[in-house]
Amino acid sequence: MHHESLKTNHHSNHQSMTLKHKHQSMSDHHKTHDYKRSVTQFIFTHQILLTLLWTVGFLLIFIWQRSAVDRVLEYRRWAIPSRPIPKLRPFVLDLRDFGAVGDGFTLNTASFEAAIKEIKRRGGGQLNVPPGNWLTAPFNLTSHMTLFLAHNSVILGVDDEKYWTLMPPLPSYGYGREYPGPRYGSLIHGQNLNDVVITGHNGTINGQGQTWWKKHREKLLKHTRGPLVQIMWSSNIKITDITLRDSPFWTVHPYDCKNVIIRNVTILTPLSDAPNTDGIDPDSCENLVIEDSYISVGDDGIAIKSGWDQYGIAYGQPSTNILIRNVTARSTVSAGVSIGSEMSGGVSNITVENLLVWNSKRAVRIKTAPGRGGYVKNITFRNITLDNVRVGIVIKTDYNEHADEGYDRNALPVIDNISFSGIRGQGVRVPVRIYGSREIPVSNVTFKDLLVGISYKKKHIFQCSFVQGRVIGKIFPSPCENLDIYDDEGRLVKQATSDNSVDADYDA
Ligand SMILES: *[C@@H]1O[C@H](CO)[C@@H](O)[C@H](O)[C@H]1NC(C)=O
Ligand SMILES: *[C@@H]1O[C@H](CO)[C@@H](O)[C@H](O)[C@H]1NC(C)=O
Ligand SMILES: *[C@@H]1O[C@H](CO)[C@@H](O)[C@H](O)[C@H]1NC(C)=O
Ligand SMILES: *[C@@H]1O[C@H](CO)[C@@H](O)[C@H](O)[C@H]1NC(C)=O
Ligand SMILES: *[C@@H]1O[C@H](CO)[C@@H](O)[C@H](O)[C@H]1NC(C)=O
Ligand SMILES: *[C@@H]1O[C@H](CO)[C@@H](O)[C@H](O)[C@H]1NC(C)=O
Ligand SMILES: *[C@@H]1O[C@H](CO)[C@@H](O)[C@H](O)[C@H]1NC(C)=O
Ligand SMILES: *[C@@H]1O[C@H](CO)[C@@H](O)[C@H](O)[C@H]1NC(C)=O
Ligand SMILES: *[C@@H]1O[C@H](CO)[C@@H](O)[C@H](O)[C@H]1NC(C)=O
């Protein structure tokens, strides 16, 4: 900040001086013309001008040198945080005390590990990561710890997979999601923990995903890519006030956890060519809140999951009691907030409110397929704003992507009791697309207070098939024939003509 303002001042000074100089020489020229001064006088004037120019030049160089000196001094002080780091645990450590060097090149894995080992030995503590670029391979957290990322501190994930730990597949996925067998663990990892906080003054965890995405595209990887932060089988987890960017794979993955708060985070990856870089994937989690956050990524912003096909059914751990509020999401590849497609352990009691999805492909989407089993029930979406999205609300029941051929095709998921209210928007091509099927009908959906401006055409803008439910009060666009119509007082106005009339147009 300081430097930037210095630089701009300097720049504008320079500009105004050059301008002044131009004016002066022009008026001088004018005078010589008018009064026809002698040649010596002419030269004399120019000598003064030249001296002036030199003085100005030296002054400029002096100012420039001083800022350069400042910069060097600043560099020496680089590791002193501009904002004092609060003491959040009785025992506090600084990463540098373990020999870490924040130059972006030195590998600091041993320093992270030694510091966390000390915290574990002391029964808990806070690890401060000062300003700098702290390159590291994956490391594990411990219980009762706070990882604090100072302003301008960056934890950089090493992008050579030989440094990444391989782990057994997640039990509810059976496979490594992309490849059979083991998978890479996450950059920052934790298992069987209690009371872990990752926070800071908007410091950054950067996964340097570019190398991973490229290798994935070129099929050079043998194992599923690792997430940026993955916490498994743990309770009382808080991730707040930081930025997470360029994850190799999903960004934040709480797996089979209880009591998780993710608040005031910024999650960024490129919008395209950053495959599977979901923002947050609550997976078989209970009591989880995501709020006050900005997510702009190359896949789903948030995707609530609970395991994959026969493995997820066998593991049987649902995602439930999840609240998502005051989130802005952007996804040009998938959706702002998704449920599924891996939902085989069940997903219930989810509330999504005060969500804004902008310049995206889809706003909210429930996705599943035959073979998943499980259920998606008791889901509330309210006060959702769609700003320039292609498809607003989507339910899709043929998301046929399976771990292997061992899935049970007769394991049919149940989709029931989904409610949408306070849906606003503009520039939306297809506001609603609900495709149930004969084997996976969508039951008991409710629409209330939906008013969405469309961008394209008037046909096929409220698409339905195999859906049962109701509309309460007036909505725009007007609903498909499949839904019962009630007035604002809750009196039935018009009975649905059919629940399976198909108005499907995938191209719209
Ligand atoms: C982290 O802990 C898990 C579980 O104990 C282990 O499998 C993994 O190898 C550890 N990772 C690192 C980088 O030490
Ligand atoms: C959100 O985080 C930023 C730093 O990233 C901080 O300045 C701000 O105070 C936080 N907001 C709240 C409400 O805590
Ligand atoms: C935190 O940093 C990110 C990335 O630099 C930035 O986009 C965001 O606005 C910052 N958040 C706050 C609250 O300053
Ligand atoms: C919503 O989240 C943003 C950060 O994305 C924050 O600045 C704002 O204060 C939050 N609003 C409410 C009502 O909490
Ligand atoms: C549903 O989830 C909310 C959190 O969003 C929780 O407060 C509530 O108790 C849950 N309801 C049930 C029936 O568990
Ligand atoms: C609805 O959500 C938007 C953010 O998308 C928020 O600004 C607004 O205050 C919310 N309205 C209500 C009534 O909560
Ligand atoms: C859905 O909510 C109803 C009523 O609160 C409750 O009886 C039912 O158990 C919930 N379903 C699930 C799967 O949580
Ligand atoms: C439907 O879901 C809502 C929201 O989760 C819940 O309050 C209600 O009890 C559910 N109703 C039934 C019949 O499951
Ligand atoms: C259908 O959903 C509405 C709204 O969520 C809920 O109030 C009602 O109890 C549900 N009815 C059935 C039969 O599930």
- Catalytic residue from among 241, 256, 299, 300: 299
> Architecture of domain 300-508 in CATH?
3 Solenoid (2.160)
Provide the strand spans (E) within 99-187.
Answer: 125-129, 132-136, 139-140, 145-149, 153-157, 166-167, 183-184
> pLDDT (tens digit, 9 = 90+) per residue, 300-354?
999 999 999 999 999 999 999 999 999 999 999 999 999 999 999 999 999 999 9
Same topology for domains 83-264 and 300-508, yes or no?
yes
For ligand 5, what atom is nearest to the CA of residue 322? 5
The CA–CA distances, whole Å, from 198 to 51, 191, 283, 494 equal 59, 15, 19, 53
Q: Is 195 a catalytic residue?
A: no
Determine the distance from the C-alpha atom of residue 40 to the mean position of all C-alpha atoms in its chain, rounded to a whole number.
Answer: 71
* Pocket around ligand 6 at a 6 A CB cut-off: 354, 356, 383, 385
Token duo for residue 113: 């590990």
For ligand 9, what atom is nearest to the CA of residue 446? 4
For 427, counting Cβ atoms within 10 Å of its Cβ (0-12 exposed, 13-18 middle, 19+ buried), the class is: middle
Other C-beta atoms closer than 10 Å to the C-beta of 419 total 18
pLDDT value, residue 82: 83
Task: Say whether pTM exceeds 0.85.
Answer: yes
Break the chain into its structural domains and give their ranges: 17-78, 83-264, 300-508
pLDDT value, residue 80: 74
Residue located nearest, by CA, to atom 11 of ligand 2: 264
Q: Is the pLDDT of residue 503 over 70?
A: no
pLDDT value, residue 48: 65
Other C-beta atoms closer than 10 Å to the C-beta of 458 total 7
How far, in Å, is the centroid of ligand 2 from the Cα of 86?
14
Task: Name the nearest CA neighbour of 237 among 115, 348, 345, 142.
Answer: 142
Is 321 touching ligand 2 by the criterion CB < 6 Å?
no
Q: The domain 83-264: what is its CATH number?
A: 2.160.20.10
Please tell me which residue, 34 or 138, carries the higher pLDDT value: 138
On average, the pLDDT of the chain sits at 88
Contact 45, 28 (CB under 8 A): yes
* Pocket around ligand 3 at a 6 A CB cut-off: 202, 243, 266
Is 417 touching ligand 9 by the criterion CB < 6 Å?
yes
Residue type, 66: R
C-alpha to C-alpha distance for 333 and 340, rounded to whole angstroms: 15
Is 351 touching ligand 8 by the criterion CB < 6 Å?
no
Over residues 361-376, mean pLDDT: 98
Q: Prior bond to 275 cis, omega within 30?
A: no
